[in-house]
Amino acid sequence: MSALAFVMALLSTAVGSPAVQSEGSREAREQARRCERENGEEGLQACRSALQLALAPGRRRAVRELLARHLVSLERWSDLADHYRESVGLDPQDAGAWFRLGSTLLFAVDDAPEAVAALGEAARLAPGDAETRVALALALLALGRHTEATAQFDEALRLDPGVLDLRPAAEAAREAARSGQGWP
């Protein structure tokens, strides 16, 4: 998991004219196609370019997802976290955006305190999501907050009794939390 957040730039004041909007849209579509086609740094730059241009709103989300995938493939974890920070800024009510940010912070950037905040917001926005509760429990455990971690694991299991099935590391983390021990 990785993130990169960029401020979406507006075109110059001439953007309001139909001719410039049309041209910008054509260039944005071309950059979006390159974003899909290209790998590595070239694909990443094409995604960024498409987002800075007059890309149709329905297409922006897909390009943002592709940009995140490029960052993951390049192992640019801090950039991925920044990207997801921008995502939550664009839609603060999107529980999935908060979950992606929190998971990236916890597992890729090793920032458990910020991960707890992001995953806590995800849990507030989607209180019935067991996966979010497990991630929050792991972040709390990373901070040595065993009682809170245990409560989140228990809530996850109440919401979905099978959430830890086939996840022996998460189950071991739950047992460590219950016994007041740390977990790597």
The alpha helices in 76-129, defined as continuous H runs, are: 77-90, 95-104, 112-125
Per-residue pLDDT reduced to its tens digit, 70-111: 999 999 999 999 999 999 999 999 999 999 999 999 999 999
Instruction: Examine the domain organization and report whether 55 and 96 are in the same domain.
Output: no
State what percent of residues in the chain have pLDDT above 90.
81
SS3 content of the chain, % helix, strand, coil (to 5): 75, 0, 25
Instruction: Examine the domain organization and report whether 34 and 123 are in the same domain.
Output: no
Average pLDDT (8-21) is 30
Residues 6+ positions from 96 with CB-CB distance below 8 Å: 122, 126
CA geometry: angle at 83 spanning 113 and 14, to 5°? 145
Question: How many C-beta neighbours within 10 Å does residue 86 have?
Answer: 19
CATH number of 142's domain:
1.25.40.10
Per-residue pLDDT reduced to its tens digit, 116-154: 999 999 999 999 999 999 999 999 999 999 999 999 999
Cα–Cα distance measured from residue 115 to residue 140, given in angstroms and rounded to the nearest whole number: 9
Residue 34 structural domain: 1-77
